[in-house]
Amino acid sequence: MIKINENYLKLQSSYLFSNIAKRVAAFQEANPDKGIIKLGIGDVTRALPQACIKAFHLAVDEMADDNTFKGYGPEQGYDFLREKVVANDYTPRGAAISPDEIFVSDGAKCDSGNIQEIFAGDIKIAIPDPVYPVYLDSNVMAGRTGHSNNDRYENIVYLDSTRENRFLPDLPREPVDLIYLCFPNNPTGATISKDLLKTWVDYARENKAVILYDAAYEAFIQDDEVPRSIYEVQGAREVAIEFKSFSKTAGFTGTRCAFTVVPKDCAAYDTKGEKHFIHALWNRRHCTKFNGVSYPVQKAAEAVYSEEGKNQVKALIRYYQNNADIILKEMSALGYECAGGKNAPYIWIYSETDSWEFFDHLLNKAGVVCTPGAGFGRCGQGFIRISAFNSLENVEKAMARIKKAL
Ligand code: MLT
């Protein structure tokens, strides 16, 4: 008799954003005349930068000619992209990363969900609350947690991010082996200083732990004081893996291209206490389970780093950042305590009422979709997240509707 992986039964029945999409679809069916504005899932709405489109087209043409056609590419990504990533995102910030430490992939979601499989089943994991659900769910699937009671899985060390700590969690009180961090944060929009990030790196070094650092929203950092990569912190190469993506940076959510940085110094240990380098293990996993991102998509991603591409990406980020400024200003003017929205595309709003009730209220009365904070964890209860990813026109319309509805 075929048996299932019963860990899946511990999960909530559907993924947060699928759950929201279902509710929105039901509302739309019942109210076909009501226009809905989606400020829920952080999905970009603007076209790819022209530089990317041009490179994409040229690469497709190469695929149409026997002389330039490409079959399987390197699983880790083409050198042309890995070299550009290093030269633009790491070297100028003093981060000593080499191109062969970059693993190109189809998304930071997939990588941050998959990476846990190279670690042992009985490790202790620290996960922020609220949190991007993938970190937690992928560990539940792998059997590293017990059951969920009262919105908390057994065997997880939760790192509470609250109004009191300005959404910057304290170091774990007990030793942990794997730590998930995300800055600029999803969902709170909080950013971390280099000094504070150093305390996490130091903790990881002292405890022989690894930090999984999700920097998918790095492009929104405008403030020079805010670190754009964990590798700006000394010692991070030995204890940190970083996830980055072209999704929010350059509108690639539907095009799919991202990368994970696994420095060759970063290690984990076997049961005898012997050291193993994660780079080799991740490379092994990548080659076995992944066949690389398509050549045209990697060419489009490479164009992000051209002069033209850089300017177009800047304009794209400015556009969404302006939306974030508007949301932050309007929600604050309505008397709501807000976090994020600066150096981040998400505004984290203290609704003081049940998150899902507030979500329903905004949907029913304003036709605006947000994300209920409780969907990101227990500490998200009483909050909603509004995303800046939509057109300026829709953001202005949504804010006017919310003003009327509240
Ligand atoms: C979000 O809304 O939190 C993100 O768009 C989800 C994702 O990047 O997968």
Atom index in ligand 1 nearest the CA of residue 186 equals 3
**113 Cβ below 6 A of ligand 1:** no
**142 Cβ below 6 A of ligand 1:** no
What is the distance between the alpha carbons of residues 343 and 312, in angstroms, rounded to a whole number? 18
pLDDT of residue 150: 87
Q: What are the backbone angles phi and psi of residue 276, rounded to the nearest 5°?
A: -130, 140
> Mean per-residue pLDDT for 256-283?
98
What is the distance between the alpha carbons of residues 41 and 279, in angstroms, rounded to a whole number? 32
218-258 pLDDT tens trace: 999 999 999 999 999 999 999 999 999 999 999 999 999 99
With beta carbons less than 8 A apart as the criterion, state whether 316 and 250 touch. yes
Cα separations (Å) of 10 from 2, 13, 372?
19, 9, 21
- In this predicted structure, the answer to whether residue 301 has a pLDDT above a threshold of 80 is yes
> Mean per-residue pLDDT for 118-142?
97
Distance, CA 248 to ligand 1 centroid (Å)? 9
The whole-angstrom distance between residue 125's C-alpha and the CA centroid of its chain comes to: 18
Query: Ligand 1, residues 16, 17, 19: which to mutate, most atoms within 8 A of Cβ?
Result: 17
E strands in 156-227: 156-160, 178-182, 210-214
**186 Cβ below 6 A of ligand 1:** yes
Among candidate residues 150, 153, 147, 163, the one with its CA nearest the CA of residue 125:
153
**41 Cβ below 6 A of ligand 1:** yes
- In this predicted structure, the answer to whether residue 406 has a pLDDT above a threshold of 90 is no
pLDDT of residue 25: 94
pLDDT of residue 330: 98
- In this predicted structure, the answer to whether residue 317 has a pLDDT above a threshold of 90 is yes
Query: Ligand 1, residues 39, 105, 132: which to mutate, most atoms within 8 A of Cβ?
Result: 132
pLDDT of residue 210: 98
Among candidate residues 244, 242, 275, the one with its CA nearest the CA of residue 259:
244
Residue 13: pLDDT band by 50, 70, 90 thresholds? Answer: confident
Give the three-state DSSP class for 240.
strand
- The rounded percent of the chain whose pLDDT value lies above 70 is 100
- In this predicted structure, the answer to whether residue 156 has a pLDDT above a threshold of 80 is yes
pLDDT of residue 36: 96
Among candidate residues 202, 192, 220, the one with its CA nearest the CA of residue 316:
220
What is the distance between the alpha carbons of residues 131 and 147, in angstroms, rounded to a whole number? 18
333-349 pLDDT tens trace: 999 999 999 999 999 99
Q: Which two tokens stand for residue 86?
A: 């290093």
**294 Cβ below 6 A of ligand 1:** no
Distance, CA 41 to ligand 1 centroid (Å)? 6
> Mean per-residue pLDDT for 144-169?
96
Which spans in 208-306 are helix H?
Answer: 247-250, 278-289, 295-302
E strands in 202-360: 210-214, 240-245, 258-261, 267-269, 275-277, 337-340, 346-350
Distance, CA 138 to ligand 1 centroid (Å)? 15
- In this predicted structure, the answer to whether residue 403 has a pLDDT above a threshold of 80 is yes
Torsion of CA 301, 305, 307, 310, to 10 degrees: 80
Among candidate residues 196, 266, 247, 231, the one with its CA nearest the CA of residue 91:
231
Q: What are the backbone angles phi and psi of residue 256, rounded to the nearest 5°?
A: 70, 95
Atom index in ligand 1 nearest the CA of residue 371 equals 2
Distance, CA 108 to ligand 1 centroid (Å)? 10
Average pLDDT, the chain: 97
What is the distance between the alpha carbons of residues 360 and 352, in angstroms, rounded to a whole number? 14
Distance, CA 86 to ligand 1 centroid (Å)? 25
Distance, CA 307 to ligand 1 centroid (Å)? 28
